[in-house]
Amino acid sequence: EEWSQGKALVRPPDQMELTEAELKEDITRILTANNPHAPQNIVRYSVKERSYKPINVVDQMAVHCVLEGSLVHQDSEEARKLRFDLRYKCLFVGFPQVNPIVDGGDVEETGDEDRPDSAVSRINKKEPKVTNQFNFSNRASQTLNNPMRDRICQTEPPPRSSFSATANQWEIYDAYVQELQKQEKNKEKQKGMHSQKDNGKSKKVMLMETQSEDVTKWTMASKILERTISQNTFDDIAQDFKYFEDASDEFREQEGTLLPLWKFQYDKAKTLSVTALCWNNKYQDLFAVGLGSYNFSRQGCGMLLFYSLKNPAFPEYIYPTSSGVMCLDIHAQHSHLVAVGFYDGCVAVYSLKEEGQEPVYKSTAKTGKHTDPVWQVRWQSDDMDNNHNFYSVSSDGRVVSWTLVKNELVFTDIIRLTLSGAVSEGTEGAQGGVSSGTSFDFHKQIDYMFLVGTEEGKIHKCSKTYSSQFLETYGAHSMAVDTVKWNYFHPKVFVSCSSDWTVKIWDHTINTPMFVFDLQAAVGDVAWSPYSSTVFAAVTTDGTVHVFDLSVNKYEAICQQLVVDKKKTKLTHVEFNPIHPVIIVGDDRGYVTSFKLSPNLRKKPKAKKGHELPKGPEVEVAKMEKLLSLLREPDQNSG
C-alpha cells in the first residue's frame, strides 16, 4: 500500500537553498530577436558622400539548418511545368504516363489500361501527326547582323607644358580659400539673377554685374590716382610736412610753434565729436578716429573712420555703428585688428581685412557686456594658447579681459572697483558702492601692472594676478580722471589729467605728484611723445594745445597755441605720430587737425666738442631721472 503513503520531495544534495523572499521574487527574462553574434561596426563606402559610413541596420537572422528538397507544391508554376513535360513525353515520345509525386502524395498503381501495349491504351491513344517526309522544312528566319564599326576622330593634341612647384600647407590652404570665395561669388550671382528674373529685370542685373566687375578691376588704380590728385592739390602742405622747419626757433630758445597741416573731416560725421584717436604702428600714415558724443542726453549713432596722411580728402575705411564710439585701440603686431568700446557697454573687434561694415567679434548681454559706457580699451600680449586678448574699463566698475576664441569673445572679470577698495571676481556684492572707471593704461615693461583712473578723481595701481586689493591708491584729482598714461621710457613715471584744469606727473613709488600744471581750462587729453621722455602734450576745452618739455622748462609749457577757428569749439583728444614730428588733435565738431612740431619742441641736447652724443632709451631714462632726483627727498633718492 505504498500509494496511500504521502510522497516526500527528494532534494538533490547540491541544490541551492533559498529564502521565502528569494523564492517569491520574480525574475524576468526577455527573449529578443537580436543576434548577439551579429557585428555592430560594419562600415561601407558611400559614393554619394565620398566617405565610409557605418551601417545602422544589421541582419539579425541566424540560419541553423538548410536542407534542399525535391518536393514541389502542386499549385505552383513549377509543378504545372513538370506535368506538361510528362504529358508531352508520353504523347510524342512514347514514355509511359506517370503521375508526378507532388506534396508527399503516394505513387498510384498503374493498371493494364495504362500500359502502352494494352488494348485500352491503343483505343484511347491519338496518333501523332506525321510530318511531310518529302518537302518538310523548319520555319526559321535568319537576320543579318550589321558588322561592327569603329569610329575614330583625329584631333590635335592639347598643348602641354612642364610645371614644377613646392606645395606647402599654407599654399594649399590659400588655394582652397580662393576656390571657396569663387564658389560663394557664383552662388550670390546666381541668386541675384534668379531673383531679378522673377521680377523681369535680368538684363539690368547682368549689366550691373559686369559694371561691378569692371569697377573692382580699377579700384586699386583709381585709389592711386585719387591719392596723386590729392597730393597735387595739397602740394604746399606736403612740402611743409617733409621739408619746412621754422627758422624763427633759432631766436626763441625756450618756445616752439605748431604748423597746421591737413584737416580731416567727413560730411556725415559733422554732428559727432572725436572721442578717440590712435595711430597704426605698422603703417605710420594711417590713424583711426572714433566718433560719438560726450553729451549724454543726446546719444545716437557713432562712426569708426580710418584716415591716411596720403589722402586727407576722404577716409580710407568707414564703419558706421549703432552706438557712439567712446574708445579704440589698434593692435601693435596685427595692425588690421581694432578693438572698440561703445557707449551702450559693448566692445567689438573690427578687422580691416574683412569685407563689410560689421565687426568680426562683438560682446552681448549674454557674453558679459558692460552695463555702462566703455571708456578705455587696450590690447595685451597673447595668452598661453596664442589667443588675442584686450582689456576694457567702464563706468560700471569692471575691468574685464576679453579673449578672441574662434568666433566669440570670452570675458573674464579682472577686478571690480568700489569706493571702499577692490573686489575680486569671486566675491559677490560690493560694499560701499561702485567706483566708476574712466581710464586705464598698462605698464610698458611690467606686463601685469596697470593704472585705473576713476570718476572720483582717484588713481588705483592694480595687478592682473592680485585682484582682491589695490597695490596703491593716489588721491590725484578733485574731478574725474580723463586720462592716465605711463611714460614710454622711464618705468616709474606716469601722467594724468582731469577736468579740474590740472595735469600731474607721478612717480608710482611716491603718493604725491612730482609736477603739477594748471592749464586754466578743463583738460580733455594728455599724451607722451614717443621720441623724448620729458615731452608731452595736452589739449583743453578752450581750444588750446599745450606742449611741455620738462628738460627745458619745468614750470610752464614751451608752446601754447590756439588751434580752433571758432571760440566754442572744444578739443577732446591728442596723439603723437610714432615716427614723424606730427600730432593730430580732435575736437567736438568731428574735425581732426594735424600739426608739425617746430624744432624747439623736439630739440635734442647739443653734443660737446670731441664727444659723441649718446643715443638710446637709457639716455631718455637718465634725463627724466635727473629731473626726479631734484624733486625727491634724500631718503627717497637713496631708496
Q: Residue 429: pLDDT above 70? A: no
Q: What is the pLDDT of residue 294?
A: 86
Q: What is the pLDDT of residue 583?
A: 92
Q: What is the pLDDT of residue 430?
A: 45
Residue owning grid cell 581750462? 521
Please, what is the average pLDDT of the chain? 81
Cβ neighbours around 152 below 10 Å, total: 5
Rounded (to 5) percent helix, strand, coil in the chain: 20, 30, 50
Residue owning grid cell 523681369? 200
Of 132-146, 447-461, 532-546, 620-634, the one with minimum mean pLDDT is 132-146
Q: Residue 521: pLDDT above 50? A: yes
Percent of the chain at pLDDT > 90 equals 17
Q: What is the pLDDT of residue 613?
A: 58
239 close to 288: Cβ distance less than 8 angstroms:
no
Sign of CA dihedral 559, 563, 566, 570: negative
Q: Residue 194: pLDDT above 70? A: no
The dihedral over CA atoms of 201, 203, 204, 210, expressed in degrees to the nearest 10, equals 140
Q: Taking Cα atoms as reference points, which of 367, 288, 291, 359 lies closest to residue 324?
A: 291
Q: What is the pLDDT of residue 350?
A: 92
Cβ neighbours around 125 below 10 Å, total: 13
Is the model more confident about 310 or about 117? Answer: 310
Residue 185, Cβ density class (10 Å: 0-12 exposed, 13-18 middle, ≥19 buried): exposed
Q: What is the pLDDT of residue 12?
A: 83
Q: Domain 235-420+432-632 is in which class?
A: mainly beta
Percent of the chain at pLDDT > 70 equals 82
Cβ neighbours around 307 below 10 Å, total: 24
540 close to 483: Cβ distance less than 8 angstroms:
no
pLDDT band at 137 (very low <50, low <70, confident <90, very high): low
Q: What is the pLDDT of residue 495?
A: 92
Sign of CA dihedral 152, 153, 155, 157: negative
**DSSP label at 349?**
E
Is the model more confident about 464 or about 2? Answer: 464
284: CB partners within 8 A, 6+ apart: 577, 578, 579, 580
Q: What is the pLDDT of residue 632?
A: 73
How many whole angstroms separate alpha carbon 509 and alpha carbon 608?
35
Q: What is the pLDDT of residue 103?
A: 45
Amino acid at 566: K
Q: What is the pLDDT of residue 427?
A: 46
* pTM of the predicted structure, to 2 decimals: 0.63
Domain boundaries, the chain: 235-420+432-632
DSSP SS3 for 231: helix
How many whole angstroms separate alpha carbon 76 and alpha carbon 191?
61
Cβ neighbours around 433 below 10 Å, total: 10
Long-range contacts of 632-639 (CB under 8 A, 24+ apart): 632/507, 632/510, 632/514, 636/509, 636/510, 639/509
Segment 567-574 mean pLDDT:
87
Segment 447-468 mean pLDDT:
86
How many whole angstroms separate alpha carbon 458 and alpha carbon 435?
10
The dihedral over CA atoms of 82, 86, 89, 92, expressed in degrees to the nearest 10, equals -110
Enter the C-alpha cell of residue 519.
Answer: 592749464
Enter the C-alpha cell of residue 553.
Answer: 622748462
189: CB partners within 8 A, 6+ apart: 209
Segment 339-359 mean pLDDT:
90
Identify how many contiguous H helices and E strands the chain contains and give both numbers: 9, 31
**How many whole angstroms from its chain centre is CA 44?**
37
Sign of CA dihedral 111, 114, 117, 122: positive
Q: Taking Cα atoms as reference points, which of 588, 574, 515 lies closest to residue 546?
A: 574
Q: What is the pLDDT of residue 407?
A: 80
pLDDT in tens, 195-243: 655 555 555 545 555 555 566 667 777 778 887 888 788 888 888 888 8
Q: Residue 59: pLDDT above 90? A: no
Of 73-77, 450-454, 602-606, the one with minimum mean pLDDT is 602-606
Of 58-62, 477-481, 602-606, the one with minimum mean pLDDT is 602-606
Segment 524-537 mean pLDDT:
90
